[in-house]
A and B are shown apart, each in its own frame.
Chain A
Amino acid sequence: MDQAQMAAVYDRLKDTVYRVALFYCRNVQDAEDITHDVFLVCFAHDAPFPDDEAEKAWMLRVTVNRCKNLLKSFRRKFSVSLDDAAQICQTQAEHDIWDAVNALPANYRVVIHLYYYEGYSVREIGKITGRSETAVQTQLYRARKLLKDKLGEEITP
């Protein structure tokens, strides 16, 4: 992969990877570091991907794995997480749902994000997160329940 190809891949997927990392880690610096790592791993990946979607899914899986490792890391900094990012919310409704999602446990956050934002199916999320479909369904169920408890109403797609 030459520099132009790398730049194209980066431009296509940078925000996708970054968002998942950010929502998982809730720390801008960590998310940027993970995004760096993920792209370096991707660029060093020898085998070509069958298509862009496969490449995206593969990179998200690497991202999730990096995030999991980081959360296990002893050196992970406790930070104010997404407070800064939350400033991007422009309406009260956006603030409410944003805060509620980001108050979820990490694995629920990422499942919600992949399902509702990236539009992945339960099966695809299972492959990305390394969980069974049943586990993803359980996570979605619990995440929705927690969101409902917090927001006082059911969430709609």
Chain B
Amino acid sequence: MNMQDYRHAADRVHIAAHCRQEVLNMTKHTQPKTRKPLIRMAAGIAAGAAVLAITGGFAYLLLSVQSDIRNPGASNPEQQPAAEYIEIFRDYYETRAGHPIDFDFSTLCGTDFNETWEFADYTVTLNAAVCDGWQFDYIYTIQPHSGQMPTAAELNNIPSVNIRSTEDPVEFVVCDVQLVDTELRADGTFRGVGSCHYTINGMVTSLPEQFYAQCQQPGRTYNPQKFLADGTLRPITVNQPDELPACIALTDSLTATVDRIKSAAYKYAFVTPLGITLTNYTFDDIEEQLNTAESNSYSGPAVTDAVTVQKGFCHGEPADIGVTYDQTQAAGIIGIVYTNSPDFATCWLPFTEPQNLADITYLSLTSNEQSEAVQIPLNSRDCYIDCFRDYYETRAGHPVDFDFLALCGTEFGEVWEFDDYTVTLNAAICDGWEIDYIYTLQPKYGHILDLAILPELTMCVADASQAMVIAVSDDPQEIWRSEADDTLRMFSSCHYLDRAMPIPQDGQIYAVCTEADQENGLADGTVRPITVNMPEDVPEIHPLDDILKIHFGSASVTQEFVYGVVTPLGIILTNYDPKELDTLLHDVYAEPVADRTEIALCAAGNLDADDVTVQNIDLAFGTQISVGTVRHFYLWQDPALGEATYATCWLPFTEPQNLDNVQSLMIGSNAQGETVIVPIK
């Protein structure tokens, strides 16, 4: 197929003739942009959060994203809002929450704007704002030039303030605007309070440096160029949280009924220090609806079924977070529901006081429509540890009692951005021979998960010249997939085989993330230095004192093993000298070595082996170590020989062993009458 045909067709594409005059006419009225100086926010805040909006009238849609304010930006005392604004915010929150709230709004709300828009009949002033990373609440004042409070009918046509995250038509949702005053105050003004929300867009990975405040009469078509030029749209800066956490899929849906409104099974959560937002939809779910459905929204306080929130920690009993939303509480209970369709619902559950989310492992929610608690993992290490445990127990074929929390001392958060995916290295454990790690693949907006071209994440050790020599890696395993956005959590494992390039004692290795056809390097960030926890003694491979034959029943094969490595987690047996394998192992990350021959992994996985027993022969201990059956098995095929030549099997201990005082282990298998000694030191 010739691209010349494409060029011929494209040559016939021309912009409509009327556009020329439209553009040239517009230039006669366009003024250069003027912006206020940017005020850099706290480190870690980046530009460009994608948000959305529906404008016009009071039919608003709420979408959501959540954020995790660990350290809300410090307020500038000179910019602290007036006490009256703080009280308005407090009233606003408490009215919606239905219970007292002990937020420090003077810290949360660090900006006093005093942006003023003049209209024929009104003067509108934006006074103050609070932003928790997901929710943006603001106060504005309206002064009728007539000196009279507008009638109810007139209120629908007064200018209102919207907040946007960018000047482009990627906007905020204005979901709720309420009047604070029903009568004019002494200064001839009345006040309104508005609330905007981010979208729950999986691609939102950063927060904007600044927002834009827009004030206009209803019914005008949004035009950023024009609005910036005439002052309808103005850049503003607000305090921002440091981090923007992701949408969290609940372990199960939480069904809650908002009295007189609807019953919804919430599936996603967004947690900020100020509260939890639950939704039953994602950005992708509602995007098409937003373009096709009538905006038929309800927003405002409502009475929900009882929802109890507890916070849990990795170690220790769950602690009461002190928030229970139920019908017995005075002033109505939380339940702000925003929908643009009967199918979509959002519910906001504010905390009584700000929570330090960094200390909380998970939140546990229960409603009286659901007997079991639904968990929201905040500190993801728990779920990673569960993954590690599952992985070990699956391979071992029996429960293992490792302290994975101690083994997994590192939660990385290394992120690689590709065109189609965001890859995050989440956690890893290392026993000195094997590195197991978990990473997350998140398809970016508009891209379909293509398993054939997923980026790969591997671990390497590096020589002085930074040439990579990688251990043999398993194929990654999919361990979790989000129905919401196709996010995959993958588990992978690297094995230490290269004796010339041991894993450093300090655990400093390299994570390499590349697409299938991509080169790698330190300079472009595909290769990143990381540090994993290491055992105190790096295990070494020793020759066995005799050949150990193990019969793998399910494979009808008996393998002879002659080398052994002992780690606190288990024994690794091989039938080859790792140095020998290293000369054969070809790896794409290694410097080219002329005499290397690529060998292929021809079998790997769990094989049923005959019983293997391991006994600690140190007299001081003298106890048998339970290892169950051999489970994990690798065979590599040397193309030159045309047969499976190299074999590895792993015998995990039931619980970690303290090998400090153990000189050797004794292994016996029923395929061999004699036992074999595995030296440790």
Tell me the bound Cα distance from A3 to B33 in angstroms: 19
Docked-complex contact B10 and A113, CB < 8 angstroms = yes
Which A-chain residue is minimally distant from B63 (CB atoms)? A74
Chain B residues, CB < 8 A from A112: 6
Which A-chain residue is minimally distant from B8 (CB atoms)? A94
Docked-complex contact B518 and A138, CB < 8 angstroms = yes
Q: Which of B22-30, B127-135, B145-153, B472-480 contacts A (4 or more CB under 8 A)?
A: B22-30
What is the distance, in angstroms, from A100's C-beta to the closest C-beta of chain B? 8
A103 within 8 A of B: no
Chain A residues, CB < 8 A from B9: 88-90, 94, 97-98
Chain B residues, CB < 8 A from A39: 23, 27
CB 8 Å contact bits of B416-430 with A (1 = contact, 0 = none) = 001110000000000
Main SS of chain A's interface residues? helix
Number of A-B contacts (CB under 8 A): 157
Docked-complex contact B7 and A116, CB < 8 angstroms = yes
Q: Which of B12-20, B361-369, B392-400 contacts A (4 or more CB under 8 A)?
A: B12-20
Docked-complex contact A3 and B30, CB < 8 angstroms = no
Chain A residues, CB < 8 A from B518: 134, 138
Docked-complex contact B446 and A44, CB < 8 angstroms = no
Docked-complex contact B30 and A40, CB < 8 angstroms = yes
What is the distance, in angstroms, from A24's C-beta to the closest C-beta of chain B? 11
Which B-chain residue is minimally distant from A92 (CB atoms)? B5
Tell me the bound Cα distance from A99 to B342 in angstroms: 37
Which A-chain residue is minimally distant from B15 (CB atoms)? A18
Tell me the bound Cα distance from A98 to B3 in angstroms: 9
Known A-B contacts A74-B53, A142-B453; the reply to A40 vs B27 at CB < 8 A is: yes
Chain B residues, CB < 8 A from A71: 445-446
Docked-complex contact B524 and A73, CB < 8 angstroms = no
Tell me the bound Cα distance from A91 to B8 in angstroms: 10
Which A-chain residue is minimally distant from B521 (CB atoms)? A134
B261 within 8 A of A: no
Q: Which of B205-213, B285-293, B619-627 contacts A (4 or more CB under 8 A)?
A: B285-293
Chain A residues, CB < 8 A from B170: 69, 72-74
Tell me the bound Cα distance from A23 to B8 in angstroms: 15
A121 within 8 A of B: no
Docked-complex contact B24 and A117, CB < 8 angstroms = no
Interface residues of A in 99-120 (CB under 8 A from B): 100-101, 105-107, 112-113, 116-117
Contact of B23 among A10, A77, A132 (CB under 8 A): A10
B168 within 8 A of A: yes
Interface residues of A in 1-50 (CB under 8 A from B): 3, 6-7, 10-11, 14-15, 18-19, 22-23, 31-32, 35-37, 39-40, 43-44, 46
B2 within 8 A of A: yes
* Chain B contact residues, CB within 8 Å of chain A: 1-10, 12-16, 19-20, 22-24, 26-28, 30, 32-33, 50, 52-54, 63, 166, 168-171, 199, 201, 203, 225, 287-288, 290-291, 418-420, 445-447, 453, 515, 517-519, 524
In the A-B complex, list the 9 residue pairs whose CB atoms are closest, starting with the nearest. Answer: A74-B52, A18-B15, A88-B12, A116-B3, A94-B9, A93-B5, A94-B5, A69-B168, A97-B6
